[in-house]
Structure 1
Amino acid sequence: MRADRLLRMIWMLSGRTAPTPAAELADYLEVSVRTVMRDVEALSAAGVPVYTQQGRGGGVSLLPHWRPDLLGLDEDEARALATVVSLAGAGALGLDDAVGRALDKVAVSAAGRGSSESSGDVLWFGSRVVIDPEGWLPGVGGRPWLKKALAAVEHGRSVRFRYTAGESGRIREVVIPALGLLCAGSDWYLVGRSEHGTRFFRLDRIDDLETCEADGAESWSASAGSEDGSGKSTGFGRVAVAGAAEPVDVQFDLLAEWHAARERFRSRFHPLPALLEVRPVALGRLRSLVKAEVIEGGGEQTDIAVVDGETPASTGGDRPPLRARVVFADVSHALEALPRLAGDVRVLEPRDLRARMRGLAARLLADYADQDEAE
């Protein structure tokens, strides 16, 4: 306990040019002023260049430019950590304050091996790379379960929840060990393992998540189902679940499991090339859904100014359509993406995809015509 307190005192004093009053240190460390002075003596005896100044404006100080090198990081290592750590992602998990303090320590450690400006350089560079899983629009669900799911993973507990399958819409009850959390793109997944292997459950399809009691009394599922990341139900029945009181599977490699599941998922697709006619104003939205190569009609285009995150509606509205080649993951991907661009994108090839779009349009027209008549 005291060792932790001494480290916290060092971090608080590091980088300060003016003495820190003993009373301020005592308040920060939640101890008495007398205990602070004893800790100062202990640090000094251990070789830390800490000293006190008496009188008005006095307090406790470290020698100028001295920095602790307790983490053993050089400047490049510290910069790498500050760059890849996501404060936005940590905030979603309720860990942003802790991660912020950790980054301060990383920066101070790097400054201990370099110049006095190294600490600021590390944090400045890290602040120029932001990884935010939230994206432009707020999440539609699932995020309330993040902290509870994280706690279950941390303590090796099982969780019980109701899950809605992506394709069939079936709602099933699942009880499964919480082995990890995965953020892929903007989607969060709770990772568990059943008798059928590792499963990835999208948090925005989870309802009523609860942590099982430590005694693991009821680790069952009446009719459980899960997904492997494809959005398609695996369709298996009863899930064999390890008891909540069992030790955490320390051999579980989440990153390896994720890579393997993603490869299996991708191997099931049959790529579908297509030729599209695209209104210029929709080209950006098309490229957010699928990789598109403009082959005709592009010509010289003036750069579009973006103001406050919005493109002026009038920009490019009168330009002739473009032709673009795209490759959808499969036909289901095409039928999911193309309706989002209705009125701005038209399928030219292949003929089978054109026929499917006509069929979809006919069903929509029939559905909304019935609705209008009912009103």
Structure 2
Amino acid sequence: MRADRLVSLVLLLRQRGRLSATALARELEVSTRTVLRDIEALSAAGVPVHAERGRHGGFALLPGFRTELTGLNHDEALALLVAGSRRGAQAFGLGSALASAMLKVVDALPESQRDTAAGVAERLLIDPESDLLSRRLVAEEVPDPVAAEVRRAVFAGHKLRIHYAAVGRTPEWRTVDPIGLVTVREQGYLLATRSGADRTYRLSRILAAEELAEPAERPDRVDLDRAWQERSTRFRTGGDQVTALVRVDPARREALVGTALAVLAEEADADGRLRLEVTFQDPRHAEWALWQLATNAEALAPQWLRTALRDRAAAIATRYAATS
């Protein structure tokens, strides 16, 4: 909304001083023409914003134009700034709202705390976009209209109609009773019930959503953490799960455990390698996980998994065989 954008524009100028129209447009994710119109609107409303000409010119506020709120101490503000660096809000379509809120938090601090808190926050990085091996962590994208409609239904306690594309199935409409939203490793989920049965929907697979006027059939209070754990347990123990016996280099144990659903047993062999009994979601998952570990792990059982890995390795070897 334009009112929110105008507030964000003022806060940017307060905190960063002089900024060009191009810089403001980039921060606000609008065109420079829109920024110029917003500047005119602020001036007409009595906000003392003025243009500074020249090569390093831009827009700035007159010195002293600000208000202070002393309700937050240094550590409280720092906690909010660190929380604002997390990308979980993106999964719920709240990324822009969170960025705007962080601007307001910083602006609300007294002068003596504002620079210190912002400087300390710059030295804390939570959940970067890639790990040390430059493997990019890809966050799922949920269209803003879908995320907003789902949020409204969850918060208002209304039934929700969603057009959902389950894996391997034709998308279809269904009406659910929303319970809550969960984000795990950049993936957002809607916890709901349908005809009284628990259901969990990936937000990125909701193609369209419509909040209905009818109240949702759900308890007044909910323990989302407990509900998530219960559904996670059911997920891990259902479907076409595979149990495999794997020998793995101790240095790669965490990589194996991180991809498996569960570790059922573990012991050390005489040569120092670890022998683990682990479960995977399905045969494809098991083959993929063991292939990632290359020679650092060996599937001892079942035989079909050993055969699948051998055939894959043979195909790769054939592809890269020396040609005469």
Q: CA 1:88 to 1:277, structure 2 compared with 1: closer, same or farther past 3 Å?
A: closer
SS of the aligned residue for 1:68 comes to coil
Q: Deviations over 1:160-183 (max 9, x none)?
A: 22423xxxx565734124734432
- Which of the pair has more CA radius of gyration? 1
> Which residue pairs with 1:201 in the alignment?
201
Structure 1: which 5+ runs fail to align?
Answer: 41-50, 215-243, 298-320, 349-353, 370-375
Q: Work out the CA distance in 1 between the residues paired with 2:7 and 2:244.
A: 60
Show the 5 A alignment for 1:99-114: 99-110=98-109, 112=110, 114=112
Kindly indicate whether residue 184 of structure 2 is the aligned counterpart of residue 184 of structure 1: yes
Amino acid in structure 2 at the alignment position of 1:190: L
Is residue 274–residue 325 contact of structure 1 (8 Å, CA) maintained in 2? yes
Pair 1:152 & 2:123 matched: no
CA 138–245 in structure 1, closer or farther in 2 if over 3 Å, else same: same
Q: Give the 3 Å change call, closer, same or farther, for CA 200–335 of structure 1 in structure 2.
A: same
Structure 2 stretches lacking a partner, 5+ long? 21-34, 51-56, 154-159, 315-324
Between the aligned residues of both structures, percent identity stands at 22
**What is the CA–CA distance in structure 2 between the aligned matches of 1:332 and 1:91, rounded to whole Å?**
27
| Count of paired positions | 274
Write the distance in 1 (CA, Å) between the matches of 2:60 and 2:119.
28
Question: Letter of the aligned partner of 2:76 in structure 1?
Answer: E
> Are residue 324 (structure 1) and residue 324 (structure 2) matched?
no
Query: What does residue 27 of structure 2 align with?
Result: none
Q: Match for 1:245 among 210, 213, 227? A: 213
| Residue 121 (str. 1) matches residue 119 (str. 2) | yes
- 2:298 alignment counterpart: 346
1:246 & 1:325 partners in 2: Cα distance? 54
Task: Decide whether aligned partners of structure 1 residues 364 and 14 sit closer, same or farther in structure 2, where only a CA change above 3 A counts.
Answer: closer
2:317 aligns with none
Contact 1:107 1:118 in 2 (8 A): no
Give the equivalent residue in structure 2 for 1:88.
87
State whether residues 160 and 211 of structure 1, in contact with CA within 8 Å, keep that contact through their aligned partners in structure 2.
yes
Give how far 1:125 is off. Answer: 4.0
Q: CA deviation at 1:119?
A: 3.9
More strand by share: 2
Contact kept? 1:88, 1:133, Cα under 8 Å? no
Contact 1:189 1:202 in 2 (8 A): yes
Any conservation in 2 of the 1:89–1:133 contact (CA below 8 Å)?
Answer: no
> CA shift at 1:276, angstroms?
1.3
TM-score when scaled to structure 1?
A: 0.52
Conserved 8 A contact 1:11-1:105: yes
Q: Contact conserved, 2:162 with 2:174, CA < 8 A, in 1?
A: yes
Give the corresponding residue for 2:166: 163
Structure-2 residue corresponding to 1:61? 62
Look up the SS of the partner of 2:146 in the other structure.
helix
Query: Residue 69 of structure 1: SS of its match in structure 2?
Result: coil
Show the counterpart of 2:259.
289
**Structure with the higher fraction of residues in helix conformation:** 2
Cα separation, partners in 2 of 1:197 and 1:78, compared to 1, 3 Å: farther
Normalised by the length of structure 2, the TM-score is 0.59
Pick aligned residue for 1:359 from 290, 299, 304: 304
For 1:100 and 1:158, the matched residues in 2 are separated by: 29
Distance 1:81 1:178, change over 3 A: farther
- Name the residue aligned to 2:32: none
Secondary structure of 2:149 counterpart: helix
Q: Which residue of 2 aligns with 1:258?
A: 228
SS at match of 1:245: strand
Cα distance, 1:188 vs structure 2: 3.1
The separation in 1 between residues aligned to 2:67 and 2:172, in whole angstroms, is 54
Give me the whole-angstrom Cα distance separating, in 2, the residues matched to 1:115 and 1:4.
25
C-alpha deviation, 1:200, in angstroms: 0.7
Shift of the alpha carbon at 1:193?
A: 2.1
**1:284 positional shift:** 6.5
RMSD of equivalent CA atoms: 5.3
3-state secondary structure, aligned to 2:214: coil
Q: Aligned partners of 2:192 and 2:203: how far apart in 1?
A: 12
Measured in 2, the distance between the counterparts of 1:132 and 1:334 equals 29
Q: Secondary structure at the match of 2:208?
A: strand
Paired position in structure 2 for 1:219: none
Does the C-alpha gap of structure 1 residues 63 and 19 become closer, same or farther in structure 2, counting only changes over 3 Å? farther
